[in-house]
Amino acid sequence: MGGNNGSRKIRREYKSPITDGRSIELDIYAEDKEGKIYDIEVQRADSGADVHRARFHSSMLDTKMLKAKQKFKEIHDSYVIFITENDYMKKGLPLYHVERVVQETQKLFGDGSHIIYVNGSYKNDDDPIGKLMHDFRCTRSVDMFYNELKDTVKHFKETEGGRGQVCKAMEERIKRERSEERIEVLLGTVKSLMENMQLSAQQVMAAMNISEEDKQKLIKKL
């Protein structure tokens, strides 16, 4: 998925074809030179990484892959990747690959649908996943292993303009969340920005233009 293999990385919204059906906006949408599709989601709360959500994201990717009269075998492989703050599967592993299997033979079904959970709490500076998760937790670019991440992180975390962009982007995302989940999602976002941007709660809430009503709700939970 690196820049030298012809991949494209963008945010993308998938609208439900059903009236009043649930739509999704992918954190990161990527397509490599072979046509494989990647949906990368970063989840702080375990509730955001529910296995049914992974199933739904995978199915939504499939709905956009084939045009009229294309053969089903032309559908590309898809990867839904959840990077979770906690060890969602609770087995201490860095990665969890979810694949369909034929139960009677225990052989892979091979339909090209892949779900991967990445354990964000995994710590091992001697392997690539451990180094990547270390970089995800870093608050300073100078402490990171991977040079590919340093420049971007330096801009968004260590410059005033970059921090403003992040707060604005998170504000817009919160507005799209379902109302019943909004405060909990907002709380997680505020905590994340406080930790990673080294800002106070008041600075984060001001940058995100959070209403006074919501501020009071958040202050009680912080």
pLDDT digits (tens, 9 = 90+) for 130-170: 999 998 888 777 888 888 777 676 666 655 665 566 566 65
How many structural domains comprise the chain? 2
Give the pLDDT band (50/70/90) at residue 19: confident
Closest CA to 39 of 60, 19, 23, 20: 60
Domain co-membership, 125 together with 23: yes
Q: Is the pLDDT of residue 100 over 60?
A: yes
The last residue of a domain, from among 102, 137, 172: 137
Domain co-membership, 173 together with 107: no
Most confident of 99-103, 178-182, 184-188, 196-200: 99-103
Mean pLDDT over the full length of the chain: 84
**Spatial distance between the Cα atoms of 74 and 150, rounded to a whole number of angstroms:** 38
Q: What is the CA radius of gyration of the chain?
A: 19
Domain co-membership, 123 together with 27: yes
pLDDT number for residue 76: 95
150 domain residue, yes or no: no
Pair 218, 212: CB distance under 8 Å: no
Domain co-membership, 117 together with 191: no
Give the pLDDT band (50/70/90) at residue 10: low
Q: What burial class does residue 193 get, using C-beta atoms within 10 Å of its C-beta: 0-12 exposed, 13-18 middle, 19+ buried?
A: buried
**Spatial distance between the Cα atoms of 163 and 161, rounded to a whole number of angstroms:** 6
Instruction: State what percent of residues in the chain have pLDDT above 90.
Output: 42
Range of the domain at 211: 160-221
Give the pLDDT band (50/70/90) at residue 23: confident
Higher-pLDDT residue of 158 and 204 is 204
CA distances, 30 to each of 4, 17, 25 (Å): 13, 22, 13
Give the pLDDT band (50/70/90) at residue 208: confident
pLDDT average, residue stretch 76-103: 96
Domain co-membership, 128 together with 167: no
Domain co-membership, 50 together with 82: yes
Domain co-membership, 16 together with 114: yes
Domain co-membership, 126 together with 166: no
Token code pair at residue 76: 């590309």
